[in-house]
Structure 1
Amino acid sequence: MTATEFELDELELDALTELVNIGVSRAAVSLREMVSEQVFLSVPSVAVVSRKQAAELIAELKSGHLIAVRQAFDGEFSGRALLIFPESNSLELVRAVAGEHLTLEDILELEHEALAEIGNIILNGCIATIANLLQRSLRMSLPEIVRGAGPEFFELVTPSVNDVVLFIHINFSLKGREVSGYIALVMDLPSLAIVKTLIDAFIERTAR
């Protein structure tokens, strides 16, 4: 089976979208507590795509370079999680989190730490919630900041042509700043097959 042949049926995709929405909602609560301000996070779409398709989709965000917060996750299934958005938005996000009064010099100094914290909250909140609802636990690495054009974000430690990307389009509003980006979970086919089985079990539990 190849990445292009793997797919979730409509019921599975609906269940996965529900899981993602719950995870993103919980991440928004954590962000709200951090910035003491209302945070809106929404998920317009969820799709399972190949790495090549993911690179094509990410091109929609291009307004210069892209920036991503990346964390590895490991457990019954494993892979890499990324929060990706245009680099041009990064300083605005830092200002929203760290304070409006900061000078540009201060913001540049705090950029790495603030973005890592934002990414950690969103990715951990989303992935940990999904894992809990699937009745599994995952270990998450510390966040790292990566920059580039996009395609290189979707590499696993041991890449394969059949790696797949769970691609989640998100919109979030933070202190009036509208940012569009993606959460991407890059997995190999065996890991995604495990996720599919766990989603089926989740559907069966919730249908009782």
Structure 2
Amino acid sequence: MKEEESNIDKYKDFQLTAEQLDTLRELGNIGSGHAITALSDILRNEVDVSLTSLDFTSFWEIPKLFEDINTEVFGIYSQIKDQFNMAVIQFFTKESVINLINILSDQENISGDDIKSVSDLDELSRSIIIEIGNILAGNYSNALADLMSIKLIPGVPKLALDDINAMLESIIARFSQVSDYSILIKTILKVKDTELFGIICLIPSIEILDNLFKALNVKFDLDL
């Protein structure tokens, strides 16, 4: 707990300028725009991806994004490893994912009460969720990579279903020693009359942050 408090104290006064945030938001819009075509192809429906907000914040602020930490969510985890290290984690509410699957499937509608784990989904449903995550992770990573003139290629996504509290505890335990920063993107994916509400969390390594800050002309001590 002491380590968490010290990290918050260290970064609480750090803020990007309006211009720097606008640059990041534009990257988010580019990522959303590029994702639309690919998502429309795999879902065989017209798709709209809206970026509702983008923030650059302390890693420890993530739990505050959720009104109820017991909300069940599908988590899609993509690891980027090569010259640079970064994780892309996406959260979509279980309810909205089930609604999307039902409008895309020709089979009998499934009930959220029947889905207790990822294994309760059929292969097609799992593939749809994973591919949505793969497309979004790839396009947002590419937009960020273009700004820094590097390559970021996400690995094969992993899918999980749990309440947001348990999922965040696992994520914080895994990444708190890697970075205290995250880029948080709130999105709405619209297909037919259904909206898929998502939060995309880009967790960069110190090397990525260093490149990003240089690209944004940010002067800040990254000595963690």
Say whether the fold is shared (TM-score over 0.5).
Answer: yes
Query: Which of 125, 129, 132 lines up with 1:115 in the alignment?
Result: 129
Q: How large is the RMSD of aligned CA atoms in angstroms? A: 2.7
Q: Take 2:12 and 2:171, find their aligned partners in 1: how far apart are those partners?
A: 16
Partner of 1:192: 209
Q: 2:106 aligns with which of 101, 108, 111?
A: 101
- In structure 1, runs of 5+ residues without a counterpart are 202-208
Distance 1:155 1:169 in 2: 19
Paired amino acid for 2:74: I
Instruction: Find the partner of 1:168 among 185, 196, 199.
Output: 185
Runs of 4+ in 1 over 4 A off after TM superposition: none
The match for 1:74 among 81, 85, 99 is 81
Shift of 1:25: 0.9
Aligned to 1:49: 57
The residue that corresponds to 2:143 in the other structure is 129
Report which stretch shifted further, 39-48 or 107-116. Answer: 107-116
- Provide the C-alpha distance between the structure 2 equivalents of 1:111 and 1:36, rounded to a whole number of angstroms: 14
Change (3 A) 1:134 1:197: same
TM-score by length of 2: 0.76
Opposite residue 187 of structure 1, the aligned amino acid is P
* Cα distance in 2 between the residues matched to 1:124 and 1:95: 25
| Residue pair 1:91, 1:108 contacting (<8 A) in 2 also | no
Assess if the C-alpha contact under 8 Å between 1:170 and 1:182 holds in 2: yes
Residues 59-92 of structure 1, C-alpha deviations (whole Å, 9 max, x = no match): 2376731111110123554221022111122222
> For the residues of structure 2 that align with 1:161 and 1:128, how far apart are their CA atoms?
21
Aligned partner of 2:73: which letter?
A: L
User: Does the Cα contact within 8 Å between 2:73 and 2:161 map onto a contact in 1?
Assistant: yes
Amino acid at match of 1:37: N
Match of 1:206 in 2: none
C-alpha displacement of 1:148: 2.7
TM-score, normalization: structure 1?
0.81
The number of residue pairs the alignment matches comes to 197
In structure 2, the CA distance between the partners of 1:153 and 1:66, relative to structure 1 (3 Å rule), is farther
Q: Which runs of 5+ in 2 are unaligned?
A: 1-6, 111-119, 219-224
Provide Cα deviations, 1:147-190, integer angstroms capped at 9, x if missing partner. 33332364374532852121111112112201222111112445
Cα distance 1:169–1:153, how it changes in 2: closer, same or farther (>3 A)? farther
| Of 21, 36, 57, the match for 1:28 | 36
Q: Is the Cα contact below 8 Å between 2:178 and 2:205 reproduced in 1?
A: no
